[in-house]
Amino acid sequence: MIGTSLLYKDCYLIYIDRLGTKFLINEADKIYENRIGFYEMSPLYSDTYEIFKEIFDNEFKFFGFSDTVIAVPSINDLEKIYKSASKAFVRLLGYSIANRIYITYGDFAFHRFEDITIDNDNFICPIYGTTVLNAHEMDEKKIECLGIFVHNSVPDKSNVINNAKFNDKDIGGLIDIEKYLSEEERKDLKSFIEEKIKVEEVEKSIDDYLQSGHGTISTQMFENMEIPNKERIEILGDVFKRKKLNNQATLSYYRNLKSAIIEKNEIIIKINNSV
């Protein structure tokens, strides 16, 4: 299968990873026979594409697979790259999609086979390069925070915040998302984070209650909690799903994001390199 490889040297790559997808899809598969799969993924693809299109004016390559989106701009404008990533990050949080975004620098390439077209069901488009490898390496680490992370391959780190430190040499730093948002978007970011922390804290409390062997729970447990009635059933459903699927707890991720980005506290973000 002869084709053409398109190589981009000294370019930036934006790698967006949705967290916790396998637990969500596994549960959905049992109930909806996988019909919910793409519906749950659609904002990850459609909304991020529209953001990149608006900022880069179609001057970018876009790839999506499973719970990951990759964009490679044709221009090396870090301000636009960080702006697009910041807007994508907040937009996804608005859909309750926990995500991390990685920015890497280096070479990127993809291959087009001459005898395989988009109309062919066997269409494939392999991607590779140092930018992809660096992004995969970052993605495999369990960074206990959400946000936009810069790989050490990125030559200019002037926009990296100084108050967040990492125990891993590959992580060049965390980007100050607020710098690239409008006033309304900054308010939304703060609101999303605080609301998620509140809900996660309640879910964890109830989950701990269940684990301690106290029996069943009901919405009466919320009487002393500042949670609207309409959200109580949904929270209970999330707790049972978490218990059943052993879903990853993201409470510390949101707390660290709030501390580093919103409150500008000095913080050391832990990384589990075994993951």
As a whole number of Å, the CA-based R_g of the chain is: 20
pTM, two decimals, is: 0.80
Select from 88, 25, 22 the least CA-distant residue to 55: 88
Residue 270: phi and psi, rounded to 5, are -75, 150
How far lies 243's CA from each of 40, 125, 216, 220, 264, in Å? 21, 38, 13, 20, 33
pLDDT beyond 70 at 123:
no
Question: Which pLDDT score, from 0 to 100, does residue 99 have?
Answer: 92
Q: How do residues 257-269 score in pLDDT, each as one tens digit?
A: 999 999 999 999 9
| Mean of pLDDT over the chain | 78
Question: Which pLDDT score, from 0 to 100, does residue 247 have?
Answer: 40
pLDDT beyond 80 at 244:
no
**Superfamily of chain region 3-180:** Nucleotide cyclase, GGDEF domain (3.30.70.1230)
Select from 248, 23, 4 the least CA-distant residue to 146: 248
Question: Which pLDDT score, from 0 to 100, does residue 248 have?
Answer: 46
